[in-house]
Structure 1
């Protein structure tokens, strides 16, 4: 096996530095909130200088966006592994629904920022969150389409709009959990998904 090229080594180093910065930023945001976190705090936590953060990521708001994007990416990657845990497509749909809601409900950083500074995070998941939402719909559609193909099920021509409608339901439940529906436990979420989300997506 040939040795890695200098380009790949440089990219690995860059990725490692950026990962360290984002890890440090998440830790600081979760412990103290965004408002009380400075670039200097993140630099100290990441063991880099302030200039490195400005060059690699940008301002504090850029750090918030980068950390948010990475958390969304991690969740979408987790969703890709769900089909391997189930044999039937109904269970896959329900598991995706439950996983998305429970991960965000129990996310320490999101809960902390929403409690301390809701005005800072809410725009990123609402008016400024179009890119994240579109990516989630596209990824979920691809996951379900491939799962159906592997199981010999017929394709659903309008799968994307069906997934988008379901995703908007999920989005609403995350942002406004209070209502007449009792969806506190995973069992209750699964029951709801089986009754309403599965028929919505699969017909």
Structure 2
């Protein structure tokens, strides 16, 4: 699986003080949940993170950078959950079709069942949507890199033919994000059995399973 430890949030001038990085991002996340993104000030995040406002700005050039870093932290956590859901199938040497189906199911379940994302899309779409669309490259890249490593592992195991995994990985990442942003669809995504049937019929072939 992908090395999730390398999926770090965007910060400036990383140094020894960054051992408290996760606490600062957690403080920002909780503030966003309590007040919303627009109403959360950098001063409030600094207070909750128990550091000075100047130190916070040394780590993050702007509130926009902080928002993106919190978002990437959430993506990293999401990928860890996906990894945990898929690992039993990879560890049991399941058929590649089954692993791909479970990967797709885990991606959809995580993206469409995220209460924070759902809340922000409902209450502050103008704030959060740019980070998932026109400024969404970092989010797409994290999902793409994880999926590319998933494909590469199956290739190393001889379960998929040799090809560049990045285009396929990006296609799946972009498709999954689209399902999260636009809930209305003719595909019965609320039915796990139907999702698996859809994935087996329409997603698996994209991975070129022999």
The reply to whether residue 160 of structure 1 matches residue 166 of structure 2 is: yes
Match of 2:55 among 52, 55, 62: 52
Q: Residues 1-203 of structure 1 correspond to what in structure 2 (within 5 A)?
A: 14-81=17-84, 84-86=87-89, 87-150=94-157, 152-203=158-209
Shift of the 201–100 alpha-carbon distance from structure 1 to 2, 3 Å rule, reads same
Q: Which residue of 2 aligns with 1:4?
A: none
| TM-score normalised to structure 2 length | 0.80
Shift of the 185–25 alpha-carbon distance from structure 1 to 2, 3 Å rule, reads farther
| TM-score normalised to structure 1 length | 0.83
Query: What is the alpha-carbon distance in structure 1 between the residues aligned to residue 86 and residue 51 of structure 2?
Result: 40
Which has more radius of gyration?
Answer: 1
Give the Å deviation of 1:100.
1.7
Count of aligned pairs: 192
Query: What is the alpha-carbon distance in structure 1 between the residues aligned to residue 124 and residue 62 of structure 2?
Result: 18
Structure 1 window deviating more from structure 2 (101-110 vs 112-121): it is 101-110
* RMSD between superposed Cα atoms in Å: 2.2
Gaps of 5+ in 1: 1-10
Shift of the 81–143 alpha-carbon distance from structure 1 to 2, 3 Å rule, reads farther
Give the Å deviation of 1:83.
5.0
